[in-house]
Amino acid sequence: MAAAPAAPAAPPAAPAQTGQSQSAVQQVAGSVSSNPGEAVYKTFCAMCHDNPDTKSPTRENLAAMNEQVLNFALTEGKMKVQGAGLSTQQRADLISWLTAGHSSGSADWTTAMMCTGARAAVDLGGPSDATSVGFGVTHDNARKFTAQQSGLTTAKMQDMELAWSIAIPGGSTMRSQGAIVGKNLFWPATDISKVFAFDLDGEKPCIQWIYSSTTGAPLRTSTSYGVLADGTPLLVIAGQDGVVHALDPRTGKAMWTKNVASYSYSMTTGTPVILKDRLIVPVAQFEIMVAADNKEKCCTNHGYMLSLDPKTGAQQWRYDTMPDATPVRDRGDGQMLLGPSGAPIWNSPSVDEKRGLIYFGTGESNSPPAHKNTNAVIAIDLKTGKEKWSFHATPNDIFNAGCGPTPKPEQLNCTRAPETVYRDVDFGASMI
């Protein structure tokens, strides 16, 4: 499920100078730990990650993540602001300490699982052989398999037992699901930025091909499958950096890639939907997290929906959840608070082909004024991207991580009651 992340309490602001951060770490290192990575953690990370009230990932959760995921979070992702206060060496020490217990696993595990003979070729079958085309199983997010598709009935459920399992070295989260087409499973191993094509027609699965993203960012969405108007099969997945990858499902080769991130903190979480003549891509943003830093000009990002040409990636139309941000007022230090902002589209859109509409939900406002399309269910025209209607479920919900459980006066990017209801509620799940 492409759910919105819970907003933790305000993290500690990054120090103004690297020299200050080094000094602080040296003091901790001398009194608490001889490991430089642990000293960095205790100085800059423990305040939130060792505090259950912040709902931040625990130290154990962080230790389960691989090096690529942690490095991206600290340099380009949600912890970019906090990571900016660390030197390259401090960041390396921290990541090394957190992942010290990892086993690299066998480097030959994929070689041992590669398909041979007839199973090596991907057979997509006919158009009706796509059992699950994306996150919602169907374009309208029915999330339901028939007995014929699954080969299961209610009576058979009690007799099920484990047939096989695959553990992906380097993977710590299972946030995405694969597309099932005939005897093939196209599975995204998001943490290691790879997509695997598995042949399921045998006693155990085998690997037909592996696609590896080279952007340096973890993949984020589920895989989406579709057949275009001219009969071309297409497989699509998007990354945490906003890059959309369009693959040939028969070979695993990239047909095209496109960065759809318009803002500094844009990201993709909802799974794109492939139709015969267009690719629908929802775009979220995580400015809610970085607004905890008073140095950030809060807030300018918002969510949007794109329709792309599925053969080339060229944009067909764009729907923005709100207009661009403009200065609202002095936040108290001579710097202007900007708005409106927010309304990230975390979820996978539901396509109503009969009515020609796309349905999706949005998240909260990050700065005033609270736009009508925040915390909303929205319907837009499939062919033009024009808004048809919007249901504003929770008005005046303005929130960002600078607010924390109890807003503090020094948090300049935090809007306070009665201007906000201060609930931080989002439509994280998809519309059905």
pLDDT for position 103: 59
pTM score, two decimals? 0.84
Cis ω for the linkage preceding 272 (within 30 of 0): no
Position 11 pLDDT exceeds 60: no
Domains belonging to the chain, first-starting first, are 18-98 (no CATH), 105-143+170-259 (2.40.10.480), 270-432 (2.40.10.480)
- Name the one residue in this structure whose structure tokens are 């006693």: 203
Mean pLDDT of the chain: 88
pLDDT for position 207: 97
User: 351: which 2 tokens?
Assistant: 């396509």
Position 18 pLDDT exceeds 70: no
Position 52 pLDDT exceeds 90: no
Query: Using 50, 70 and 90 to split pLDDT, how confident is the model at 16?
Result: very low
How buried is residue 429: exposed, middle or buried, by Cβ count under 10 Å (0-12/13-18/19+)? middle
pLDDT for position 255: 98
Among 8, 22, 126, residue whose Cα is nearest residue 403: 8
- Tell me the per-residue pLDDT of 164-198, one tens digit each, with 9 for 90 and over: 998 888 777 778 899 999 899 999 999 889 999 99
What separation in angstroms does the CA of 432 have from each of 139, 143, 347, 350?
A: 10, 8, 11, 6
Cα atoms in the Cβ-side hemisphere of radius 13 Å centred on 66 = 18
- Tell me the per-residue pLDDT of 252-284, one tens digit each, with 9 for 90 and over: 999 999 999 999 999 999 999 999 999 999 999
Among 349, 431, 427, 350, residue whose Cα is nearest residue 393: 427
pLDDT for position 260: 98
Position 50 pLDDT exceeds 50: yes
Q: Going by DSSP bridges, is the β-strand pair 376-381/387-392 parallel, antiparallel, or unpaired?
A: antiparallel
Lowest mean pLDDT among 5-14, 181-190, 364-373: 5-14
Q: What is the mean pLDDT of residues 305-328?
A: 98
Cα torsion at 146, 149, 155, 159 (round to 10°)?
-140
Position 20 pLDDT exceeds 50: no
Among 3, 65, 70, 68, residue whose Cα is nearest residue 271: 3
User: 140: which 2 tokens?
Assistant: 């309208």
- Tell me the per-residue pLDDT of 118-148, one tens digit each, with 9 for 90 and over: 999 999 987 667 788 888 888 999 888 888 8
Among 264, 268, 291, residue whose Cα is nearest residue 280: 268
133/26: higher pLDDT: 133
pLDDT for position 165: 92
Cα atoms in the Cβ-side hemisphere of radius 13 Å centred on 156 = 6
Query: Using 50, 70 and 90 to split pLDDT, how confident is the model at 17?
Result: very low
- Tell me the per-residue pLDDT of 399-408, one tens digit each, with 9 for 90 and over: 998 886 677 8
Position 354 pLDDT exceeds 90: yes
Position 15 pLDDT exceeds 70: no
pLDDT for position 130: 76
Q: How far apart are CA 169 and CA 319, in angstroms?
A: 39
pLDDT for position 5: 41
pLDDT for position 254: 98
Position 107 pLDDT exceeds 90: no
How buried is residue 48: exposed, middle or buried, by Cβ count under 10 Å (0-12/13-18/19+)? buried
Query: Using 50, 70 and 90 to split pLDDT, how confident is the model at 13?
Result: very low
What separation in angstroms does the CA of 64 have from each of 97, 100, 102, 191, 326?
A: 12, 10, 8, 11, 41
- Tell me the per-residue pLDDT of 304-316, one tens digit each, with 9 for 90 and over: 999 999 999 999 9
| Percentage, residues of the chain above pLDDT 70 | 90
Query: Using 50, 70 and 90 to split pLDDT, how confident is the model at 3?
Result: very low
